[in-house]
Structure 1
Amino acid sequence: MKRILNIKNIFNTALIILFLVLLFVPSAKAMLLKGLIKAGFFSPDTSEASAGRLPVSDLSGIQFKDINGKIVDLGDLKGKIIFLNFWATWCPPCLAEMPAVNKLYEKFGNDNDVVFILADADGNLVKSQKFMNRKKFGLPVYAIASEMPEILFQGSLPTTVVFDKQGRIAYHEAGAANYGSPKFIAFINRLKTTN
């Protein structure tokens, strides 16, 4: 019996249990990723080289619908900075980055020059709004209401796209990142002052 209950076996069993929890419990995975985001492991690359100011031929016709059925067309938002995030309530990296996205929203949500669109990839606005309410996030949720160009979204969650005032892609990233960081806040402020 002593052989079975040695420290090595107890440690290995605990490690296996932890691995299984992280593998099968999305909220545990999200909590781990959230900690890594806070520690600075997922810092968004906002350098000019990574952005490339990719042009999208025309944002008109790229539409999203809110929970009340109101349609937002990206073409109507020219002259504004658009923070577009594709996410889902079942996606651990999405859930992990949401507090940082909410921090960014708290900073710029009342700014008329910055628009936030959190597009639920599943289109289940009732479920996503309940999630936002439960977490006390003020983020506006939308469903995709038109064809989505592949340059914006290829199905990876989360995916975040930031458009500058001219409608050019200033930032595009698939994967979780810390959007509430001082570096990213400074990036948005730079976009506000440039044409």
Structure 2
Amino acid sequence: MANKTDWRKEIKSWGLILAFIAFLYFTGLITPIMGGVQSILLSTGLIKPKITMVDKENLDFDYKGRFSNMAGAAIELEEYRGKTVFINLWATWCPPCRAEMPHISELYKKVKDTENLEFLMIALDNDFQKSIKLHEDKGWSFPIVHASHGLNNSLQSNSIPTTLVINPQGKIIFYQEGMSNFDTKEFRDFLTGKEPN
């Protein structure tokens, strides 16, 4: 009899948990909550970008492409040739993307005045207005663009967030799928071309 009661309690417990998760999912709260939890995890410093692990190391970057900025104007990828470019593919519905955005925003604030360094934060949402609204609500410091004209082969990825760094010679020198806290001294030095101490 005890086993039957335990079994019923177990089913009831799982039912409540699943109902709570369904509530979060259908109200749209699960994405910001998961993003917030993952952002806290990134703040611990346990997840950092592996600068030496580059899947597409020394491949030439394809500068063919066009994006739309927040004002609706076209941005040509060719404009970034000859510069160091930090590129991030993200979407509002992606909790790991939302988790790393505050850290990228802090990184951007610290390095934005570096000569010849650009950030290209590419939103993949179907509705760019959702991306713009989240950007404004969160007060992120970096500008965003929309992949309204598609992505070239260099920007194709199996998952998001995906981050690339392109050097002024047009080579991919950093490539990572998955979230990281990019606001570290090591990564800032890598991005700005400073020699490690």
Please classify the TM superposition score into its range, dividing by the shorter chain length. Answer: 0.7 to 0.9
The match for 1:148 is 151
The match for 1:182 is 185
For 1:90 and 1:77, the matched residues in 2 are separated by: 27
Give 1:130's match in structure 2, choosing from 130, 133, 137. 133
Which consecutive residues of structure 1, in runs of 5 or more, have no partner in the other structure? 1-8
Q: Is 2:110 aligned against 1:101? A: no
For 1:55 and 1:72, the matched residues in 2 are separated by: 20
Shift of 1:169: 0.7
Q: Given that residues 125 and 141 in structure 1 are in contact (C-alpha distance below 8 angstroms), is that contact kept between their aligned partners in structure 2?
A: no
For 1:19 and 1:42, the matched residues in 2 are separated by: 31
Shift of 1:137: 1.1
Q: Given that residues 54 and 174 in structure 2 are in contact (C-alpha distance below 8 angstroms), is that contact kept between their aligned partners in structure 1?
A: no
Give 1:121's match in structure 2, choosing from 120, 124, 129. 124
Partner-residue secondary structure (3-state), 2:48: coil
For 2:84 and 2:182, the matched residues in 1 are separated by: 15
Q: Is 2:35 aligned against 1:30? A: yes
Partner-residue secondary structure (3-state), 2:142: coil
Which consecutive residues of structure 2, in runs of 5 or more, have no partner in the other structure? 1-8
Partner-residue secondary structure (3-state), 1:84: strand
Q: 1:127 to 1:46 in 2, by over 3 A?
A: same
Give 1:65's match in structure 2, choosing from 63, 68, 72. 68
The match for 1:110 is 113
Q: How many residues align?
A: 180
RMSD: 2.8
Shift of 1:173: 1.0
TM-score, with normalisation over the residues of structure 2? 0.78
Q: How does 1:19-98 map to 2 (within 5 A)?
A: 21=21, 24=25, 25-47=30-52, 52-56=57-61, 58-59=62-63, 61-98=64-101
Partner-residue secondary structure (3-state), 2:85: strand
TM-score, with normalisation over the residues of structure 1? 0.79
Q: 1:132-190 CA deviation, whole Å, 9 max, x = no partner?
A: 11111122111114342334222511111111111111111111111111121111022
